[in-house]
Amino acid sequence: MRRTYLFLGVFLMAVTIQTVSAQEKFTAELMWRLGRVSDVQLAPGGGSFIYGVTWYDAATNKGNRDIYRLDRNAESPRKLTDFSGSEFNAVWRPDGKKIGFLSAESGSVQLWEMGPNGENKERITNIDGGINGFSYSPDMKNIAYIKDVKLEKDVHDLYPDLPLADALIYDDLMYRHWDNWHDYAYSHIFIAPYNDGKPGEGTDIMPGEPWDSPLMPSGGMEQLTWSPDGRYLAYTCKKLKGRDYAVSTNSDIYLYDLGSGKTENLSEGNPGYDQDPVFSPDGSRIVWRSMQTPGFEADKDRIMLCELRNPAVEKTIKSVKGKNNKPLEITYRIFSDLSEEFDQSASSFTFSADSRYIYFISGIQATYQVYRIDTETRQISQLTRGDHDIQSYAIEGSDLIITKTRHDLPAEVFRYTPQGNEEQLTFTNRSLLKNVKLAKSEKRWITTTDGKQMLVWVILPPDFDPARKYPALLYCQGGPQSAVSQFFSYRWNFQMMAANGYVVVAPNRRGLPTFGQEWNDQISGDYGGQNMLDYLSAIDAVAAEPWVDETRLGAVGASYGGFSVYWLAGNHNKRFKTFISHCGIFNFESMYLETEEMFFVNYDYGGAFWEKTRPRSYDFSPHNFVGNWDTPMLVVHGGYDFRIPYTQGMQAFNANQLQGIPSRFLFFPNETHFVLKPQNSILWQREFFKWLDAYLK
């Protein structure tokens, strides 16, 4: 089973890093030269941190990820690894004396260790089939690692006399997921004694269980955690299979006791997602993010706190005797939703050293910030501010070490003080971008048709001249519940669009998070309703500016944004001169039976199209409005997109062709819901702007 959540550089080769000496325009080729910073890990005690940078080489269509270390007050980072392949999942050993990381340098992916300065690199595991992630126990007595375990028979097991047979056989749903066919294997957690740096084969804590931990396809090591004393391992798992899995979001937090080998379900009473557990430093508490509504993948992520033990209550319990004068065996648990009065989602939890405060990331008005909650008073404080997306953070004394992005900033690491001062610590792409004039984003609040205020980002071309008239693009976001925040995308890149002379209009229409749960939830069951009016309000308001040519407007988007483009094509009243739809939903009925996570379409559509009371959502299906289509359209899709299968794109393209509408189908047989290979991505960008320029310039 392939692990899509691992860094893409796992299987990629070495790269020749090129620099740009006199680059003026932001291009696709330049974008793929940028280093991608991720996975910042603060050293025990602070003072330095390690992080990874992935570099790509479009000429070879490959990339490579290396590990760096930056010490406080150092002028530049130190490169710690230089293997021929990529290194990832780098973490400090709890004692700070070594750094563990994963590498496929020896063939399969194994655990390696090195000194703090990159010295004495040594492979310390030889696990059959390799591993996909690992974590040291705090007491350094054990490591946990994840690997794939084949539990079911494939066609060659069933028919050994047909070694050349090439087929997959399934008797239940979830036979494919996002971009992979089910391969009869499951991700399991193993625990192995550390043995002074020589761990052997571990013990499977989920023996024979036909489900995954971490969750497929995007869960990582954040979904399991050790207790401070190393006695327990908490992990995320959705212990459902086939059809039951397809129609449910009910994952849970499980607590495994290394001493007894017993497993306890901590979140059994909650029917929605429960994920990403974190222990308090004193071991008395555990927190995780929890969604309450079953089947709703975009529900509010609550701060769910579980009191594992309470000294005062434990003392009382011990004084009570049962039969034969023996102490009663009582499990003490108290659960609290700390965010009941907080109308925002929360994730990425970290406890303060005294276990009283919980830090987390939350979105507010199309930005992502760090917050802190006092578990005793439940008072929540916003610690960071600014138009940026904080992707990760670590606590160093009173400061925060944050990784953040903006529309004009690929991910970099900063120090953020309690006074609100920022210091940029890494400058990974400074030399590449020093001669590039980047576009700036403007924040606007636009009144919607129902009288509400909607935040819209307007990105203006570099060297913007208000005396000119520019073509404009309405950017339609995917998700459907995924904020148009201060992200730096390597596909839908606002810098690229602006650099090619387009004004970009990016509305946070109905159905996007960071504006309260009511705004987020409204879209479910109303795909062709208020959020489409929000799109039109945004483009109409900006098109009224004297520097926008209202006769040269386009609409572009992917996933739900691709659906939005298809819907607008039949309902735009001649506003747009061209459309680009990537992996969009075209026909709700066929989509319902082609996708894999059925809980999504059940919740957002309101159920199956054959129900006696047909859900209203099916009336919004773009194929119902094809008779109104008359505008040139570029359709893009990937062959391994199982969330929105490529047949949706084929239907849209065929509808255009049969009606004689200028159209093009850009198909990537080996790409997924996303275009991830460098040369395919550059081709995507070239076709994207070639199409736009033909109709808008």
Instruction: Tell me whether residue 296 is in a domain.
Output: no
The span from the CA of 113 to the CA of 244, in Å, is: 41
Residue 569 in 3-state DSSP? helix
| Listed residues 94, 124, 154: the one ending a domain | 124
Residue 27 in 3-state DSSP? coil
Residue 673 appears among annotated catalytic residues = yes
Q: What is the pLDDT of residue 197?
A: 87
Per DSSP bridges, beta strands 470-476 and 503-507 are parallel
- Compute φ and ψ for 504, nearest 5 degrees: -105, 130
Contact between 633 and 555 under an 8 Å Cβ cutoff? The reply is: no
Instruction: Tell me whether residue 486 is in a domain.
Output: yes
Instruction: Tell me whether residue 141 is in a domain.
Output: no
Q: Which residues in the chain come in under a pLDDT of 50?
A: 1-21, 23, 315-317, 319
Instruction: Tell me whether residue 345 is in a domain.
Output: no
- Compute φ and ψ for 61, nearest 5 degrees: 65, 30
Q: At 446, which CATH number?
A: 3.40.50.1820
Residues in the chain, total: 697
Instruction: Tell me whether residue 462 is in a domain.
Output: yes
Catalytic-role residue among 137, 559, 581, 663: 559
Q: What is the pLDDT of residue 322?
A: 57
Catalytic-role residue among 179, 339, 673, 681: 673
Residue 641 appears among annotated catalytic residues = yes
Predicted TM-score (pTM) of this structure: 0.93
Q: What is the pLDDT of residue 11?
A: 34
| Strand order across the beta sheet in which 224-226 lies | 224-226, 232-237, 252-257, 263-265
Number of domains in the chain: 2
- pLDDT tens digits along 215-253: 999 999 999 999 999 999 999 999 999 999 999 999 999
Q: What is the DSSP string of 314-350?
A: HHHHHT-B-GGGPBP-----EEEETTTT--S--EEEE
Instruction: Tell me whether residue 148 is in a domain.
Output: no
Instruction: Tell me whether residue 104 is in a domain.
Output: yes
Catalytic-role residue among 362, 637, 641, 663: 641
The span from the CA of 382 to the CA of 371, in Å, is: 4
Q: Which token pair is 603?
A: 């919740």
The span from the CA of 550 to the CA of 658, in Å, is: 29
Q: At 47, which CATH number?
A: 2.120.10.30
| Listed residues 124, 150, 179: the one ending a domain | 124
| Cβ atoms < 10 Å from Cβ of 220 | 18
| Cβ atoms < 10 Å from Cβ of 639 | 14
Q: Which token pair is 681?
A: 């991505």
The span from the CA of 576 to the CA of 568, in Å, is: 9
Question: Could you list the residue range(s) of the whole structural domain that residue 69 is in?
Answer: 1-124
| Listed residues 124, 151, 186: the one ending a domain | 124
Instruction: Tell me whether residue 403 is in a domain.
Output: no
